[in-house]
Amino acid sequence: MSLKIGFLPAILMLAACTPQPKAPVNDAIVRLPAVAGRPGAAYFTLYGGDKGRTLVSVASPAATRAAMHDMTMSNGMMSMAPITGGVVVPANGEVRFESGGKHVMLFGLPPSLKPGDAVQLTFTFASGEKTSLDAKAEAPGGGDMHSH
Ligand SMILES: [Cu+2]
């Protein structure tokens, strides 16, 4: 009669063992600039896979230039600095690029880009691995602390 109760924990354990996505990058979006001519920002999640990965650069054919930045707190002020030496993603770990943290600045995006458009991003890793994907352009929103 109470036999079925035993199945539930087994199912929960299976769910917790879901393997990491095979793709090194997921959930990519490009936040369009609020004012044409200002840089946009790309946000995404990096996955380390079995061995870990180090992201060394991100580029986009839609932008004249792309740069990885990180936000840091110093003396109570948020400031932005270029990321040098790559972003290390530990094996089976993940690193998120998100508003208020790490981000990729995209300079020189065409003013014709609108929300819903696809923006190609190419990620290069220290191993030589390269991957490209289409990030979805999103409308400018609050919460971006870019002062470029
Ligand atoms: Cu920036």
* Chain segment 13-63, per-residue pLDDT in tens: 555 556 677 799 999 999 999 888 899 999 999 999 999 999 999 999 999
* CA–CA distances in Å: residue 34 to residues 13, 15, 80, 106, 131: 45, 40, 19, 13, 28
Residue 69 Cα, ligand 1 centroid: separation in angstroms? 5
Q: Which fold has domain 20-138?
A: Immunoglobulin-like (2.60.40)
Residue 105 Cα, ligand 1 centroid: separation in angstroms? 5
Sorted by where each begins, the domain ranges of the chain are 20-138
What's the CA gap between 9 and 47, in Å, rounded? 28
Q: Percent of the chain at pLDDT above 90?
A: 68
The identity of residue 127, as a single letter, is S
Task: Return the higher-pLDDT residue of 148 and 32.
Answer: 32
How many C-beta atoms surround the C-beta of residue 118 within 10 A? 13
pLDDT higher than threshold 60 for residue 134? yes
Confidence of residue 96 (pLDDT cuts 50, 70, 90): very high
Give the pLDDT of residue 148. Answer: 47
Rounded mean pLDDT of 104-109? 96
Residue 2 Cα, ligand 1 centroid: separation in angstroms? 57
Give the pLDDT of residue 75. Answer: 86
Residue 9 Cα, ligand 1 centroid: separation in angstroms? 45
Residue 146 Cα, ligand 1 centroid: separation in angstroms? 6
Rounded mean pLDDT of 59-76? 93
Residue 67 Cα, ligand 1 centroid: separation in angstroms? 8
Residue 70 Cα, ligand 1 centroid: separation in angstroms? 7
Confidence of residue 112 (pLDDT cuts 50, 70, 90): very high
- Rounded to two decimals, the pTM is 0.82
